[in-house]
Amino acid sequence: MNMDDRYGADALERAILELPLEETPEGLRTSILMATAYRPAPAFSFFELAVVGSLGAVALWLIVLLVMGGGSLFVHTLATIGAGLSRALSNPAILAWIAAGGATALWVSLFTGSQPAVAASRRSERRAGR
Amino acid sequence: MRAEPSDGDLVTMTLRGNSEAFATLVERYDRAVYHLAYRTLHDVEEARDATQEAFFKAFRSLRTFKPEAKFSTWIFAITYHACCDRLSRRKHYSGDELPERADPTPGPEQRVIALDEASRLRAAIDALPEKYRTVVTLFHLQGRQYEEIATVLGLPMGTVKTHLFRAKEQLRRLLGEMEVTES
């Protein structure tokens, strides 16, 4: 067979299409699956971590107040915080900003990979059910 | 007998929380994705990382997958972009005409020893300039679906056809040279 027959347009196309694919390295599929579909669910969600962290920070701050200024400073600070909170929550503008922030966070979460977390949590539920 | 679910069905099932569906997609395409990455990068470790990265990105952005699109085209496009990022990080990636990769493996002349046709053809493909090699690799993976290849590469279909035509011309020349050297 001469070169023109062997490497004619059709023959060359056929030869390309029939080339075997590269063998994947050992363990590649497992590592892909462990990073995606079978990724272990995180122990805490981001929201849970944020809440616990904030509460921890407030608690630490109050402890520091107690240690530094005694009971009166502690009570005074709590009263100030309470007054500030009630003032803020009775202000329609502040409430509107909080609502807008919450809605934006919810909307953004729809486009930033909340799906894998859902899949992971369902998987862990299934595992727990076994 | 139940028909195999389509790629689109598997995407939908994954989005509903069925992780086994995504595992099926990985089983269907991991070899092809790795092939594309390896043929583009010519480095086992980098190809491995690019394959993982492509599937991870696909998983993370599965919601953005358009049901009317082909999953293979989508995952190949993600892979191709991951490979381009790696190539540009190597600083061997510039302008239209990409330089020959810094590959320690021997060139086509040295590969003449390869006995079978497939090895010879693969060596000839390896010797092509980057842009032709990628088009030939995608042609290998997707067949004569020029529109899909154009989508993956983000090039006009005419350019893809031209690249493929020139790639095949160069391949014929390289294979001819190999044959002469061999005999």
Interface membership of B116 toward A (CB under 8 Å): no
Split at pLDDT 50, 70, 90, the class of A10 is: confident
CA distance A99 to chain B (A): 25
Examine the domain organization and report whether B88 and B41 are in the same domain: yes
Examine the domain organization and report whether B164 and B179 are in the same domain: yes
CA distance A79 to chain B (A): 46
pLDDT in tens, A32-62: 999 998 888 777 888 888 999 999 998 898 8
Q: String of b and e for B124-157 (b: at least 16 CB within 10 Å)?
A: bbbbbbbbbbbbbbbbbbbeebbebbbbbbebee
- Predicted local confidence at residue A73, as pLDDT: 77
Let me know if residue B18 belongs to a domain: yes
Domain around B118: 103-183
**Closest listed residue to residue A117, CA positions, set B59, B50, B67:** B59
CA distance B40 to B140: 13
E strand map for A1-130? none
- Predicted local confidence at residue A105, as pLDDT: 87
What is the total count of domains within chain B?
A: 2
Residue of B nearest to A21 (CA): B35
Examine the domain organization and report whether B69 and B149 are in the same domain: no
Written as six digits, the tokens of B65 are 């997958």
CA distance B52 to B79: 9
Let me know if residue B1 belongs to a domain: no
Residue that is last in its domain, among B98, B123, B146: B98
Across A8-18, average pLDDT: 84
Q: Choosing among A2, A4, A6, A7, which should be mutated to test the B contact, i.e. which has the most B CBs within 10 A? A: A7
CA distance B45 to B152: 23
Split at pLDDT 50, 70, 90, the class of B1 is: low
- Predicted local confidence at residue B77, as pLDDT: 94
Written as six digits, the tokens of A21 are 């694919």
Residue B111 has pLDDT above 60, yes or no: no
- Predicted local confidence at residue B81, as pLDDT: 93
Residue B107 has pLDDT above 70, yes or no: no
Backbone φ and ψ for B154, nearest 5 degrees, come out as 70, 35
- Predicted local confidence at residue A117, as pLDDT: 43
CA distance B26 to A38: 12
Residue that is last in its domain, among B98, B114, B141: B98
Examine the domain organization and report whether B11 and B63 are in the same domain: yes
Element (H, E) at A35: helix A28-35
Examine the domain organization and report whether B11 and B80 are in the same domain: yes
CA distance A52 to chain B (A): 26
Residue B93 has pLDDT above 70, yes or no: no
CA distance B26 to chain A (A): 7
Examine the domain organization and report whether B108 and B142 are in the same domain: yes
Say if CB B93 and CB B87 are below 8 A apart: yes
Let me know if residue B13 belongs to a domain: yes
Q: Do A35 and B56 touch (CB under 8 A)?
A: yes
Q: Could you say which of A3, A16, A113 has the minimum Cβ distance to residue B121?
A: A16
Examine the domain organization and report whether B57 and B25 are in the same domain: yes
Q: What is the ipTM of this complex?
A: 0.76
Residue that is last in its domain, among B98, B130, B153: B98
The per-residue pLDDT of chain B, averaged, comes to 84
Element (H, E) at B29: helix B19-41
- Predicted local confidence at residue B2, as pLDDT: 65
Q: Do B56 and A16 touch (CB under 8 A)?
A: no
Residue B110 has pLDDT above 80, yes or no: no
CA distance A102 to chain B (A): 21
Query: Can you give the CATH number for the domain in which B128 is found?
Result: 1.10.10.10
Examine the domain organization and report whether B55 and B122 are in the same domain: no
Examine the domain organization and report whether B92 and B14 are in the same domain: yes
Q: Do B38 and A38 touch (CB under 8 A)?
A: no
Interface membership of B20 toward A (CB under 8 Å): yes
Let me know if residue B2 belongs to a domain: no
Q: Which DSSP category does B69 fall into?
A: S
Cβ-Cβ contacts under 8 Å, A34 against chain B: none
How far the first Cα of chain A sits from its last, in Å, is 63
Interface membership of B119 toward A (CB under 8 Å): no
Examine the domain organization and report whether B88 and B28 are in the same domain: yes
Query: Can you give the CATH number for the domain in which B49 is found?
Result: 1.10.1740.10
pLDDT in tens, A97-129: 999 999 998 888 776 654 444 444 444 444 444
Q: Residues of chain B with pLDDT > 90: what percent?
A: 54
pLDDT in tens, B19-73: 899 999 999 999 999 999 999 888 999 999 999 999 999 999 999 998 888 999 9
Q: Choosing among B55, B120, B163, which should be mutated to test the A contact, i.e. which has the most A CBs within 10 A? A: B55
Examine the domain organization and report whether B89 and B113 are in the same domain: no
Q: Could you say which of B18, B31, B171 has the minimum Cβ distance to residue A21?
A: B31
Let me know if residue B163 belongs to a domain: yes
Q: String of b and e for A9-27 (b: at least 16 CB within 10 Å)?
A: eeebbebbeebeebebeee
Element (H, E) at B134: helix B130-142
Q: Which position has the token pair 């067949």?
A: B143
Cβ-Cβ contacts under 8 Å, A14 against chain B: none
Examine the domain organization and report whether B11 and B92 are in the same domain: yes
